[in-house]
Amino acid sequence: MDCITIRDLHLRCIIGIQDWERTTLQDVFLSLTLETDLELAGKSDRIEDTVNYKTLTKRIIHHVENSNHFLVEALAADVARLVLADERVVRVRVGLEKPGALRFARSVGVEIERDRQWLTNVS
C-alpha cells in the first residue's frame, strides 16, 4: 500500500491529568502515515484523485487545538478517527509526542495504528 506521511506537526492543546495541565496549552508533536492507493493520482496528476493532505491537516489542526483530553492515547485515537473519515485512507499510523512530560526525557508519546475495520467497530 502507498503512503502519505506528515511529520512533526507542532500543535498546542489542553492535554494532561495534572490540575495545571487542564488550563494551560501545551505543545504536542503529531506525525501521521496514511495508507492509501496513490496510483490514480500518480497517473492523473490531479488533487481530486488523492487525499488532500493540506485540507486534512487543517481539519486536524482545528480539532487538536480545540480538544481537551487527559491522555495522549485518547487524542491519538481522535485523530485516527478524523483521518479515517476519508474513505480513501485504508489505515493510519498516528504518533503523538508530548515534550517535557518527563523530567529527563525529550518527550513521551504513543504510536497507534488503526484501520477502517476499527473505525466501524468504534462507531
Mean pLDDT per 10-residue run, the chain (123 residues)?
Answer: 97 96 96 98 97 97 97 97 96 96 91 93 77
Q: Looking at the DSSP assignment, which residues form a beta bridge with residue 64?
A: none
- What is the pLDDT, as a whole number, of residue 119? 84
How far apart, in whole angstroms, are the C-alpha atoms of residue 82 and residue 63? 9
Under a CB-based contact definition with an 8 Å cutoff, are residues 2 and 39 in contact?
Answer: yes
The answer, as to whether pTM is greater than 0.75, is yes
Under a CB-based contact definition with an 8 Å cutoff, are residues 31 and 9 in contact?
Answer: yes
Count the helices and strands in the chain (H runs, E runs): 4, 5
- What is the pLDDT, as a whole number, of residue 123? 65
CATH class of 2-122: alpha beta
Strands in 16-106 per DSSP E: 26-36, 68-69, 91-99
Judged by DSSP in three states, 8 sits in strand
Q: How far is CA 107 from CA 51, 98, 103, in A?
A: 30, 5, 9
Domain regions of the chain by residue span = 2-122
